[in-house]
Amino acid sequence: MSYIKPKFRHPGLPRNALGITVAEYDGAISTLCAGCGHDSISAAIRNACFLSSIPPHRIAKLSGIGCSSKMPTYFLGKSHGFNSVHGRMPSVATGASLANRDLTYIGVSGDGDTASIGMGQFIHLIRRNVNMTYIVANNGCYGLTKGQDSATADLGSISKSGAANSFDGIDLASLALLQGASFVARSFSGDKEQLEPLFRAAMAHNGFAFIDVVSPCVTFNNHVGSTKSYAQTREHLDVMPLDYVPMRDEIRTQYDAGTSRGVTLHDGSVIQLRKASVDYQTDDRNAAMLAVQEAHDDGRILTGLLFLDPNTQDLNQNLKLAGKPLNELSTDELCPGSKVLNSINEGLR
């Protein structure tokens, strides 16, 4: 087994606006099973950060416990990171975001870490609208403990041991929609063309961005009868294609009239909905919930940007915190002295 990725790179690798190549966004070599969907998600996050030219040292990766939560080791080796207690990444993320509102926060969690042990924290993270990208690598099983059904396993899905799941699965995207998340998306680890623009849009979004990514467990949940295998997922995919165009780029790609529609984010960047998704209304929460439900009833997996409120207020804004990150406030700013105190006291007399 190779534990080291050779240092050589293609001499013709493209460079981003920072003048660096995608290699600067690499992490350690993965120790997940060969072919794990999570590795594709890692690569898509890496590519998205490279394409959006985010300086690696301005990103923080947060995770809990599980196969999914091991992932941050395997991308962005030069970024900040915090591997928290199982299901408790949301509280760490909330604290981090309050301490330094200027970093880009990427939370990586799994179906166990989010839908079971971390459910209580997850719901409150949505409610507080912490400014972060929250990715669930959803494989419908506990891969780290030999593939038992997880809380997102679909009703009737056959486990590797041969038993059909007798419970209805928790649909995290529906839950996020219901709880008022300002950015909700769903995708598939095997569809980088959709994953990358979604991640870029989510990182540009000012507020809580939730992305549920179906990510097959190649070892315990990739057999016939599983509803989250590569083959089964591909067969039932209902893809809403999209592009992400950052604000600083003029729109170079020319779209034919009627085949594309732009949705502008708060920072001026644009999500271009293409082809099948052109009529989809991303600003209608009720319609989104209906669309997800209808797809589920038809046995389809609807992927793409399900809902977006570009004008939402994130936690820092909601709490009216200082515009400057709290961790950068100096003693003078935090304790302006007796003169100021006196003037405040005077004002209360």
Partner 1 sequence: MKPTDTTDPEYFHKVVDCQYACPAHTPVPFYIRLIAQQRYTDAYLVNWESNVFPGVLGRTCDRPCEPACRRGRVEEEPVAICRLKRVAADFKDDVADRLPKAGPANGKKIALIGGGPSSLTVARDLAPLGFELHLYEGEAKAGGFMRSQIPSFRLPDSVLDEEVGYVLGMGVLTRFNTYIDSMADILTKGYDAVYVGCGAPKGRDLPNLPGRVEADANIHIGINWLANVAFNHTDKIGKKVIVLGGGNTAMDCCRTARRLGGADVKVIVRSPNAEMKASPWEKEDAIHEGIPIIDNHVPREFVLKKGRLVGMNFEKVKAVYHDNGRRELVPTGEELVFFPCDDVLIAIGQENAFPWIEKETGIRFTSWGTPILNDDETLQSTRKEVFFGGDAAFGPKNIITAVAHGHKAAVSIDLFCRGKDPGERPAPHVNLFSQKMGIHEWSYANTPIADKREAVPLVELERALKDRALEVELGFDPETAFIQAERCLNCDAQTVFSHTLCIECDACADICPTSCISFVENGAEDDLRGRLTVPALDTDQDIYVSDTLDTGRVLVKDEDVCLHCGLCAERCPTTAWDMQMFFYNMAKASPDLVEVE
Binding site for partner 1 (CB under 8 A): 1-2, 4-14, 22, 29-30, 33-37, 39-40, 42-43, 189-190, 192, 216, 218, 222, 230-231, 234
Nearer of residues 47 and 316 to partner 1, judged by Cβ: 47
- Between 33 and 287, whose beta carbon lies closer to partner 1? 33
Nearer to partner 1, 6 or 337 (CB): 6
**Cα distances (angstroms) measured from residue 125 to each of 133, 181, 185, 263, 301:** 11, 9, 16, 25, 25
In 3D space, the residue among 139, 137, 133 whose CA is nearest the CA of residue 210 turns out to be: 133
Neighbour order of strands in the sheet with 242-245: 242-245, 270-274, 260-264
Least Å from the CB of residue 41 to partner 1: 10
Q: How far is the CB of 228 from partner 1 (least distance, A)?
A: 13
Is the Cβ of residue 23 or residue 158 nearer to partner 1 in the bound state?
23
What does the block give as tokens for 221?
């949940």
> CB of residue 230 vs partner 1: minimum separation in angstroms?
5
Cα(13)–Cα(160) distance, integer angstroms: 41
Q: How far is the CB of 211 from partner 1 (least distance, A)?
A: 17
- The Cα–Cα gap between 220 and 222 comes to 6
Closest approach, Cβ 37 to partner 1, in A, equals: 7
Closest CA to 298 of 241, 212, 235, 240: 235
**Nearer of residues 117 and 195 to partner 1, judged by Cβ:** 195
The Cβ of residue 35 has, within 10 Å, a number of other Cβ atoms equal to 13
* Helix extents (H) in 18-65: 37-51
Q: Which is nearer to partner 1, 37 or 118 (CB)?
A: 37
In the block, which residue shows the tokens 């515009």?
323
Residue 229 CB, shortest distance to partner 1, in Å, is 9
Q: How far is the CB of 280 from partner 1 (least distance, A)?
A: 23
Measured CA to CA, the distance from residue 313 to residue 130 in angstroms comes to 9
Q: Which runs of E-coded beta strand occur in 177-251?
A: 183-188, 208-214, 237-239, 242-245
Identity of the residue, 134 or 230, whose beta carbon is nearer to partner 1 in the bound complex = 230
